[in-house]
Amino acid sequence: MRLLTSLLPPAALLVASTLLQAADLPKESRVPGGIAVVPLPGLTSSKAPQADFRGNRVMVVSAQGTEYENQTRWLAIVGIPLKAKSDQQLVISAGGEKYPLTIQNKEYKAQYLTIKNKKHVNPDPEQVKRWRREKTEMVAAFKHWESIEQPPVKFELPAKGPFSSPFGLKRFYNKQPRNPHSGLDIAAPQGAPITAPAAGTVLTVGDYFFNGKTVIMDHGQGLTTMYCHMSRIDVKPGDKLQTGDPLGAIGKTGRVTGPHLHWSVSLNNVRVDPILFLDN
């Protein structure tokens, strides 16, 4: 397969980036935990080509209405893993071609949390088994693929309140290092409403060891959203929702220090910064 690079000069890339932000696309941020908008020049089929990144299928949308439309017909919208490094060779495969993806490094801040329930820091063997079963169920939801032409990639906030923990923080529980924060925490009172940020279908609901009461929604083309630590769940798998429809209520179930919503966004089975999907 051939290795294709961008057909646009630097000046045109700057103009294209400005126009893309105004289009129906998430904000581009080529850093770990961010999103890359990758042109797919050379692919001219009337149907969106299949694109893959690290074994997961990637969202592909039309380039019509963007600066790229005279050079390419399709754009890949790619979630970048939090553990990705700028010196790695990242490549998108689509239509028999390979498209390189370059990123910049980003250093996230550290956050130290004190957890009263010690089992939520060092679970016993049975709890570890439970967590592994639950993780398998959640990953299956993150990898779900629903072919729709244009997924809703502009979101509204699912809850009202200040952002208490941003995406990407290096997490330490009781001074022990754990995985980075893979979502956005919104602080709100116990029982406050949680609503769908965009149209989609409920994939799964559960009461998980770490995440507490949880809902996972599918928005199409590998884009899913997850809502954790809920006090109440008002939906069931298969429910089709519109923007603003109720999902449940804010709570403090699972591993928490107080009531809040942990909201995560997954793109091609990669957790990315939810901020990139917000209009403001």
**Do 32 and 164 belong together in one domain?**
no
For the residues 59-81, what does the mean pLDDT come to?
A: 88
- Answer with the residue of higher pLDDT: 17 or 64: 64
User: Is 90 within the bounds of a domain?
Assistant: yes
Q: Are 91 and 158 members of one domain?
A: no
Average pLDDT over residues 248-260: 93
pLDDT of residue 173: 63
Percent of the chain whose predicted confidence (pLDDT) is above 70: 86
One domain for residues 115 and 91: no
35 and 142 part of one domain: no
Q: How far apart are CA 28 and CA 276, in angstroms?
A: 7
- pLDDT above 70 for 52: yes
The pLDDT of residue 94 is 95
Distance CA 85, CA 92 (A): 16
Q: List the domain range (segments joined by +) for residue 175.
A: 110-277
pLDDT on residue 170: 78
Contact 249, 193 (CB under 8 A): yes
Confidence bin at 277 (pLDDT 50/70/90): very high
CA–CA separation, 119 vs 130, rounded Å? 13
Please give the sequence-ordered ranges of beta strands (E in DSSP) within 33-160, or none if there are none. 35-39, 51-53, 56-62, 74-79, 90-94, 97-101, 110-113
242's tokens: 């519109």
Q: What is the CATH number of the domain that holds 182?
A: 2.70.70.10
Per-residue pLDDT, averaged over 106-130, amounts to: 78
Residue 2, domain member (yes or no):
no
Domain final residue, candidates 82, 101, 120: 101
Q: 164 and 89, same structural domain?
A: no
Q: What is the mean pLDDT of the chain?
A: 87
The alpha-helical segments, DSSP class H, found in the chain are: 10-22, 125-142
Q: Please give the average per-residue pLDDT across 70-77, as a whole number.
A: 90
Summarize pLDDT for 218-227 with one digit per residue, the tens: 999 999 999 9
Same domain, 153 and 58: no
Q: Looking at residues 90-102, what average pLDDT do you find?
A: 94
Whether 88 and 116 map to the same domain: the answer is: no
pLDDT, one tens digit per residue, over 155-200 is: 999 999 999 989 988 756 666 666 788 899 999 999 999 999 999 9
Residue finishing a domain among 74, 101, 128: 101
Domain count, the chain: 2
Query: For residue 20, is pLDDT > 70?
Result: no
- Quickly state the pLDDT bin for 16 (edges 50, 70, 90): very low
| 149 and 259, same domain (yes or no) | yes
The reported pLDDT for the residue numbered 1 is: 38
Q: Select the more confidently predicted residue: 24 or 260.
A: 260
Whether residue 14 is predicted with pLDDT greater than 50 in this model: the reply is no
pLDDT-based confidence at residue 10 (cuts at 50, 70, 90): very low
Q: What is the CATH number of the domain that holds 95?
A: 2.60.40.1590
Amino acid occupying residue 133: R
Domain boundary among 72, 101, 130: 101
Q: Are residues 261 and 130 in the same domain?
A: yes
pLDDT, residue 279, reads 80
Angle at 65 between CA 29 and CA 152, to 5 degrees: 60
Is 267 found in the same domain as 226? yes
Question: How confident is residue 11, by pLDDT bands cut at 50, 70 and 90?
Answer: very low
Name the pairing type of β-strands 176-177 and 170-173: antiparallel
Q: How confident is the model at residue 7 (pLDDT cuts 50, 70, 90)?
A: very low
Percent of the chain with pLDDT over 90: 64
Any domain includes 4: no
CA dihedral 68, 69, 72, 75 (to 10 degrees): 70
Say whether both 190 and 264 belong to one domain.
Answer: yes
